[in-house]
Structures are given as structure tokens and as C-alpha cells.
Amino acid sequence: MQTDSPRRLLAGFLVLLGGLIQWAGCGAGIFNPAFLNTVAGGQFPVTPGPGADFVMVRALNETGQNVEFIVTIERDELVLDEEGNFQVDDQGNFVTRTARETVRLQTGLAGNASELGVLFPCDVSPVTLVGLGEELLPSDAAVFVDGDGPGGAPGFGVTAANLNPLSLDAENFSCGDTITFRAFQSIGVPGGIALQSFLLPGESQPSIFTGPNTFVNYQTFLESQVREDDP
């Protein structure tokens, strides 16, 4: 009596193949390193750490409009004396002062241009706060939406509201981590734009990659550029 088991085995194989094709279809192709990195990691680093001393801030725009992110950090900056050496107090501790830096990250409305990041060195002068808005206040404009880009009209501002700055002291982040600020459309909020923050710890990431070690290469390059006069 003939059986249809070979047909069942073939059906199973075809279903498996279909699943794999569907899985590959959600990315750029199953053998594309970029796709592999998104799904499984290990191709390229997505955090500066554990090998490089930066905090990466990644601005992710999912609003469908141009968005400018106002990213502000605070760091404990080492104070220099007149000779250019780091000042120390009576106990031998380095004297620091709080310095604030604001950068504006312009993101496009679609595709790869909807995301942009920036690296803040955190080895010598630790980064202590990271947030949106020039003064890191809830009433600050955290992002500007639907602007014209550098030198053009800024668009309308959306406040940071309850998106609090991330604090080093509160262990919200560490040197080597990637912090993502995401702007997305949301009903019922002012301007129809909501904000979220995400963290990817650098210490959770591998230190060996099949592709270039991007951030370590960048740090090595910067160290080769330090002039004799720089502290």
C-alpha cells in the first residue's frame, strides 16, 4: 500500500523554506551583514563600549517629518592652570567644573536619513547628564519638527515634558553605552509628537566583530591627532 509520507516530508521542507524566505524578507537579505547585525549582532558594533570611551547618542526619527533633536550633555570638565596642567586641590583631587554642551542633530523624514548619532568622549571628563533641550528642562524644546534644515526655518518645537535627562549618578547610563532618543507620532499629545529614550549598555555587547571595530578605530584615530599643546 502506497503512502504519502514523502509528500509530507516535502511539504514540511517547503514550509521551512517559506519561513526562512519570510524571515530574510524582513531585512535586506539574509546574507547582508547589515541585516545580520540588526538581527543577531556581531558584525559591527552598535555601542562604543566596551572598547571605546564614548557615550553615543542616537536620534531616531519615526515621525515622517524632518526633525531636529536638541541634544545636551553635562560633563565634569577638568580645570587647567595657566601652564596648561590639570589643577588639583589640597587633597590631590582634580578640580572640575560642570560644562554643558548642546548639539543639534538634523534627521530626515524617511530611510537611513531618519537616524543620526553623535559621540561624546567620556574618558578624561565624564559625561554626567544626557538629555534633550538646551537647558535640560521639561519646558525646553527637545525637538523641532518639520523644519528646513541647517540655516533654514526651525519648525515647531516639542517640549521634553516628562522625558527626564539620563544621569550617570543614578546609573541610567555608563561610558560606552548607546542612548537612543526616539521621536514618533502619537495621538493626544501636544504637537502629535511623543518622545522616548532607550539604553543599550556597552558592557552587554561583544568586543569582537567580523567587520571593522568602528568606535575603537575612531578613538585610535583621535589619539593620533592629539597635538603636543593639547592637555
Partner 1 sequence: MKTSTPAEARFRPLGLVGLFVATGLIAMGGSCTAFNPAFLNLIGPGDGSFTTIPNAPGHVVVAFVNNAEIDERLVDFLAPELGLSDAEVRMLRPRVRLRVRIAFTDGTSLPIEMIDGSREFVDPAFDASAVPDLNQNDLTNVVGRCDVSGVAVELNSIEVFVPVELIGFQLVEVQGEGGQTTTDFEERQRLPPGFNALEVDDVDDDGNTILQRNIGVRDVPSPTANVLCGSVISITMRGVLDVPFLEAETNDPSFDIDDEPTVARIGGRYEFDVSVQ
Site for partner 1 in 196-225 (CB under 8 A): 196-200, 209, 211-215, 217-218, 221-222, 225
Site for partner 1 in 137-176 (CB under 8 A): 149-151, 162-164, 166, 172
Q: Report how many residues bind partner 1 under the rule CB under 8 A.
A: 92
Site for partner 1 in 62-101 (CB under 8 A): 80-85, 101
In whole angstroms, give the CA distance from residue 90 to residue 76: 19
Q: Judged by CB under 8 A, which stretch of 86-94, 138-146, 153-161, 179-187 contacts partner 1?
A: 179-187
Query: Is position 112 an interface residue for partner 1 (rule: CB under 8 A)?
Result: yes
Find the largest Cα–Cα distance for the chain. Answer: 98
Site for partner 1 in 25-64 (CB under 8 A): 25-28, 33-35, 37-41, 43-46, 56, 58, 60
Q: Would you say 3 or 91 has its CB closer to partner 1?
A: 3
- Smallest separation (angstroms) from partner 1 to the CB of 192: 19
Q: Please, which contacts does 199-204 make with residues 24 or more away whose CB atoms are closer than 8 Å?
A: 199/166, 199/172, 199/173, 200/46, 200/47, 201/47, 201/49, 201/174, 201/176, 201/177, 202/47, 202/48, 202/49, 202/50, 202/174, 202/175, 202/176, 202/177, 202/178, 203/49, 203/50, 203/174, 203/176
